[in-house]
Chain A
Amino acid sequence: MRKEVWIPRLLIAVSVLFIGVMLVLPLVVVLAEAFSSGLDAFLRAVTDPYTLKALRLTLTATVAAVLINTLFGLTAAWAVTRFSFRGKGILSTLIDIPFAVSPVIAGLVFILIFGRISPLHPFLDAHDIKVVFAEPGIILATVFVTFPFVARELIPTLEARGTDEEQAAALMGAGFVTIFRRVTFPHIRWALLYSVILCAARAMGEFGAVSVVSGHLRGKTNTLSLHVEILYSEYQFTAAFAVSAILAAGAVLMLTARNIVEYLAHKEDDFNVR
């Protein structure tokens, strides 16, 4: 057979094999292990009070990360694409820091800032504010790690759509809020939703940074990922995999949502963008 026929087949085969072994297989194993001791055992693990507490904390951190990062991501993307100012290049690079540094380092940074060795500590202690080894630390770490998603997705979108329509609106006397709501937002809504989904997916599964600031206080500062680790290290394999299954289900849900958003966005673009 000719070379041109072989190359695509080879590439496809390699990709399918790799994705199968590295991505699909683990997912299948997780589900198989979760149900290996029967449905009852699975339900018991999932409805365990500590699991539920961990789930609640994971959801809280995820919602906080999504809200805060949407707000600041929008602000940063707007600033970078709509204004020219000194240090714009640096700001645009700084946005990527959470992707560049290891999450563990991010966690350590929060310990340094808010922990016992921090100069802030006496003040925090005096006002009974707990950041590290408490929920605020978990939320901060999650926000930090997922910050770039919204900004990174919106910057190219805002850049590509240009400022003409916004200027046209401003010339007709529209204020900032009207311009954003009626002109800019329709352009970025799908990109925003897309980035929120990615941000949420990442926030749910975050382990490294959260692990450092949590202190692993079961029922207090445990997220689902941390809870899985604890269960696993206590040889409660079924329970560990059952809780993992919750996270896996969340991930699949997010991927599905992402694909739907992608599909809808493409459909709209085909219509509206020349």
Chain B
Amino acid sequence: MYVELKNINKAFGDVHASRNVGFGIARGVLAALLGPSGSGKTTILRMIAGLERPDSGDIFIDGARVNDVAPGRRGIGFVFQNYALFRYMTVFDNIAFGLTVQKEPAAAVRRKVLELLSLVGMEGMEKRYPAQLSGGQKQRVAFARALAPNPKLLLLDEPFAAIDAKVRKELRAWLRDMIHRLGVTGIFVTHDQDDAVETADEIIVTNNGRIEQKGSPQMLYKAPATPFVTSFIGSSAPLENYRRLKGFENGSGAATGAVRPEFIKIYKEVDGITYENSVEEAVVEDTAFRGTYWEVSLKIKNMTLPARYSLEKAPIAAGDKVKALVYRLYAFDGDNVTLLENRNLDTHNGANRYSI
């Protein structure tokens, strides 16, 4: 592991910003710290950088414990949430700062700065001041500035937060590409799951100062470890008692869980249905056009469940009576989550037909 945190705790007064935080990130990986606002993401990033001291626990970078190493000696590039560009310096001087601090000769500094400017696509802008740049341009300068001293680890706090939707998509791809091309290890903080899912190789989900789960975007989606991750990644609706659904009756008492819209299939015409014993009677409560599919709200046994419906099929509208097949769902047991398949489908050995 290139970066490793072990049992990190940090409190600001009564606020426990980090509780027993531990994770590792391998060299060359771009990881995202994903979680709601106030869940402790920035605190973790700042502790790795040395801008904040953990109350207890150890931080390792490249195998060495860095708790007592000054921020400037950890070999880290940091891109602040608001970029924190030096307001009274030109773009050139901003990027050159880290190099001049290291007393590099002027010619080498100049070469490196111009090289970085072209890397971030900002040639010819070196004489501008930060106030004369757009949000996206500032971000690129902040990125170039952080990269100038050749850090091995790049930390970015909410790098996309202040960027509008269109540029944001480009910037995600650009960041991902750049980190992998340069071969550095990267950690970025975001509260937006799309940022994390589309950009990161690995996601670390934070909640209330704790790490909920670490894994690839696909794994977090497919096998969420906690109820929190289930609701935070992808879309889902909570189930107060899934045992009332056909195919999930095993066991006794109420059991909570969650279901994703992708887990429910809607049939309008009866002849498409093979598994009579598993199908629920449902009423369409609401439909919303989502560009490439219908988002449908279904009423099944007094529960409201989300589903998707293909544009290719015969149209449905609010008030229609339809059939619905819930072929899998997440069952919650305290802090644990298990994926349950519809039992009736198993007996037909037809589960694969419905996989997403």
Contact = CB atoms under 8 A, between A and B. Distances in A.
B88 A173 contact: no
B88 A174 contact: no
A172 B131 contact: no
A171 interface: yes
Residue in A167, A170, A172 with the greatest tally of chain B CB atoms within 10 Å: A172
A182 B131 CA distance: 18
Contact of B97 (A172, A272, A274): A172
Contact of B87 (A165, A167, A170, A172): A165
Contacts of A167: 51, 71, 78, 80, 84
Given A164-B80, A164-B82, A271-B129, A187 B88 contact: yes
Interface string A230-274: 000000000000000000000000000000000000000001111
A172 B149 contact: yes
Classify the secondary structure of A's interface with B: helix
B165 interface: no
Contacts, number: 66
A171 B97 contact: no
A168 B80 contact: yes
B101 interface: yes
A108 interface: no
B350 interface: no
Nearest to A174: B101
B79 to A, nearest CB: 9
Contacts of A183: 86
B73 interface: yes
Contacts of B51: 167, 171
A271 B90 CA distance: 13
A178 interface: yes
A187 B49 CA distance: 25
The list of the 10 closest CB pairs from A to B, nearest first, reads: A164-B84, A172-B98, A173-B72, A186-B88, A168-B84, A174-B101, A171-B71, A171-B78, A272-B87, A173-B101
The size class of the interface chain B forms with chain A is: 20 to 34
Interface string B284-302: 0000000000000000000
A271 B128 CA distance: 12
Given A170-B71, A173-B101, A187-B87, A272 B129 contact: yes
B349 interface: no
B76 interface: yes
B102 interface: yes
B102 A173 contact: yes
Given A164-B82, A168-B80, A173-B101, A273 B87 contact: yes
B98 A173 contact: yes
The size class of the interface chain A forms with chain B is: 10 to 19
Contacts of B85: 165
Contacts of B50: 171
A178 B148 CA distance: 18
Residue in B50, B71, B82 with the greatest tally of chain A CB atoms within 10 Å: B71
Interface string A157-170: 00000001101111
Interface string B132-154: 00000000000001001100000
B98 A271 contact: no
Contacts of B97: 169, 172, 174, 182
Given A172-B72, A271-B131, A178 B101 contact: yes
A165 B149 contact: no
A180 to B, nearest CB: 13
B131 A168 contact: no
A180 B249 CA distance: 69
A173 B149 CA distance: 9
A172 B87 CA distance: 16
A172 B98 CA distance: 5
B78 A168 contact: yes
Nearest to B87: A272
A65 to B, nearest CB: 29
Contact of A165 (B86, B102, B129): B86
Interface in B34-69: 49-51
Contacts of B130: 272
18 contacts: A164-B84, A167-B51, A168-B145, A169-B86, A170-B72, A171-B76, A171-B78, A172-B72, A172-B97, A173-B98, A173-B102, A173-B149, A174-B97, A182-B89, A272-B88, A272-B129, A272-B130, A273-B131
A270 to B, nearest CB: 9
Contact of A168 (B86, B102, B129): B86
Nearest to A167: B51
B98 A274 contact: no
Contacts of B73: 173
A98 to B, nearest CB: 32
Contacts of B101: 169, 172-174, 178
Given A187-B87, A272-B88, A274-B131, 19 more contacts: A164-B84, A165-B85, A167-B80, A167-B84, A168-B78, A168-B84, A168-B145, A169-B86, A171-B72, A171-B78, A172-B72, A172-B97, A172-B145, A174-B72, A182-B89, A182-B97, A271-B129, A272-B87, A273-B131
Contacts of A271: 129, 131
Nearest to A268: B88
A174 B102 CA distance: 8
Nearest to B149: A172
Interface string A167-197: 1111111100010001100110000000000
Contacts of A165: 84-87
A167 B46 CA distance: 10
A265 B102 CA distance: 32
Contacts of A178: 101
B158 to A, nearest CB: 13
A272 B84 contact: no
A274 B89 CA distance: 15
